[in-house]
Amino acid sequence: MNTNMKRRLFLKASLAAGTVGMAVGAGLLIPGTVLAARNTAAFGAENVGDALKAGMGSDAVTDSPEVKIEGPDNPENGAAVPVEVTTTLTGVESIALLVEKNVKPLCGVFYPGKRMKPGLSIRVKVGESSDIIAVVKTADKLYSARKSVKVTIGGCG
Amino acid sequence: MASKSIKLKAKAENGETTVKALIKHPMETGRRKDKESGELVPAHYIEEVVCSYQGEPLLTSELGPTISKNPFLSFKFTGGAAGETVELSWKDNKGGSESATATIK
């Protein structure tokens, strides 16, 4: 939690600096300077609980109807399964996407800025039929929703 | 700011803007075997994607190799008008990076 907060602060600070750079010229955002060290513990975790602890600060998640995850029930090919996460929660700090039965469940963590409507669409790989879990972090708690998908061809090579 | 690997589109409608991005990238997990040599194909995937609107951060994301090959990402934000710009850049685990700018339609 503590390191996560620091990361967020660092992120804000460096993004602010980036804005100045923009004014100067084609400074644009270079991702490497924006995020602190990659959270290898979370991405290397081999089960959902560990991934959440490392990536979101806790594995205590509450299922919530305010988080929605949509995708095909039976996508056949697991190499690219489109999923859409939406939420009506406010004060969203981050959104994590996990595929429960993948060898490394964590697919991605998204940090929405102030303007962004929390929610996104992306395509993920699903190794075998599994639940896809969306976890939304607000200031106080983690909320989640899950969606079960059946794949006939695994997508993790 | 033309980019070979990024297709970025943004459309403003009813006070909000939809951003769609398609990035060309192999997204190798490091677990797949080459069919001919039988050797593992080394991991090569995008780790970070950053998107901003007129320089203001919109979305920062950390990705893992379980995102599909040629990642597609779409989201919405409030505000935005035709003629303004959105920017997107990515960085992968081998140090590669690219960025693109799109004008909102």
Q: Give A74-107 pLDDT, tens digit per residue.
A: 887 888 888 999 998 888 888 989 888 888 888 8
Binary contact (A29, B29; C-beta < 8 A): no
Residue A23 confidence (pLDDT)? 38
Residue A30 confidence (pLDDT)? 43
Q: How many domains does chain B have?
A: 1
Q: Is A5 on the interface with B (CB under 8 A)?
A: no
The 10s digit of each residue's pLDDT in A33-77 is 444 567 778 887 788 888 888 878 888 888 888 888 888 888 878
Residue B63 lies in a domain: yes
Are A83 and A70 within 8 A, CB to CB? yes
Residue B36 confidence (pLDDT)? 80
Q: Which residue has the higher pLDDT, A72 or A12?
A: A72
Residue B1 lies in a domain: no
Tokens at B46, concatenated: 């995008």
The 10s digit of each residue's pLDDT in A18-30 is 444 443 334 444 4
Q: Write down all domains in chain A, each with its CATH number in brackets.
A: 60-153 (2.60.40.2470)
ipTM of the complex in this document: 0.87
Tokens at B41, concatenated: 């194909």
CATH code of the domain in which B16 resides: 2.60.40.10
Residue A31 confidence (pLDDT)? 45
> Chain A window 95-154: which residues touch B at a Cβ cutoff of 8 Å?
99, 102-113, 115-117, 119-125
Tokens at B22, concatenated: 């398609």
Q: Is B22 on the interface with A (CB under 8 A)?
A: no
% residues pLDDT > 70 (chain A) = 73
What is the arithmetic mean of pLDDT over B77-99? Answer: 88
Gap between the Cα atoms of A30 and A116, Å rounded: 20
Chain A residue with the nearest C-alpha to that of B41: A157
Binary contact (B90, A31; C-beta < 8 A): yes
Residue B45 lies in a domain: yes
Binary contact (A108, B62; C-beta < 8 A): yes
Q: What's the whole-model pTM score?
A: 0.78
Residue found under tokens 């194909």:
B41
Tokens at A127, concatenated: 């190794």
Chain A residue with the nearest C-alpha to that of B35: A157
Q: Is B84 on the interface with A (CB under 8 A)?
A: no
As a whole number, the mean pLDDT across chain A is 77
Gap between the Cα atoms of B30 and B45, Å rounded: 9
Residue B89 lies in a domain: yes
Q: Which domain holds residue B61?
A: 6-32+39-103
